[in-house]
Amino acid sequence: METPAIAAVTAAGLAHRVVTYGRVRDLDEAAAKRGIAVDRIIKTLVIRRGDDDYLFVLVPGDRVIDWPRLRAHLGVTRVSLADADDALAVTGYPRGAITPFGSRTRLPVIADEGIGAMGEVSVGGGAHGVAIHLEGAILVEHLEAQTVRVTRPR
């Protein structure tokens, strides 16, 4: 399978592997089918700061966004998860397949602290049931992500 995400990772020369695993019901099933621990699945969330102002936040699978921390880091009083239509328009990917690679719009990236030290991680591959596995340090470095603790345990 070829997606814009896989094409972007390949074109960048990043060491990676593609894992095709099909539809899943939840994160635990996704982890089992991807052959990786839940905390190594990196969710890519599209966050809306304001009108036409979006960013990616990368969140380990065993964590959720800590909204007060994220707002404090961004220096704003309001942020929200982009709705599905806005996320699709900005990234070109449907919710559940969003990835920072090959996005229609280049967005700033915040990676939760610690992702860069995780070893192998799994991010969306740009289609449902497709993942890209690569080293967390490569993910953070290639995306020029800010690393900040913006999550809490789920």
Q: Which residues contact 50 (CB under 8 A, 6 or more apart)?
A: 76
Between the CA atoms of 69, 29, 93 and 90, what dihedral angle is there, to the nearest 10 degrees? Answer: -10
Distance from C-alpha of 13 to C-alpha of 9, rounded to nearest angstrom: 6
pLDDT at 153: 97
Confidence band, pLDDT 50/70/90 cuts, at residue 21: very high
- Cα 108 → chain centroid: 12
Q: Nearest CA to 113 among 154, 152, 55?
A: 152
**Phi–psi pair at 18, nearest 5 degrees:** -100, 135
* pLDDT exceeds 90 at position 108: yes
* Residue 22, number of CB atoms within 10 A of its CB: 10
pLDDT digits (tens, 9 = 90+) for 25-36: 999 999 999 999
Confidence band, pLDDT 50/70/90 cuts, at residue 15: very high
pLDDT digits (tens, 9 = 90+) for 121-146: 999 999 999 999 999 999 999 999 99
pLDDT at 1: 77
pLDDT digits (tens, 9 = 90+) for 35-94: 999 999 999 999 999 999 999 999 999 999 999 999 999 999 999 999 999 999 999 999
Confidence band, pLDDT 50/70/90 cuts, at residue 18: very high
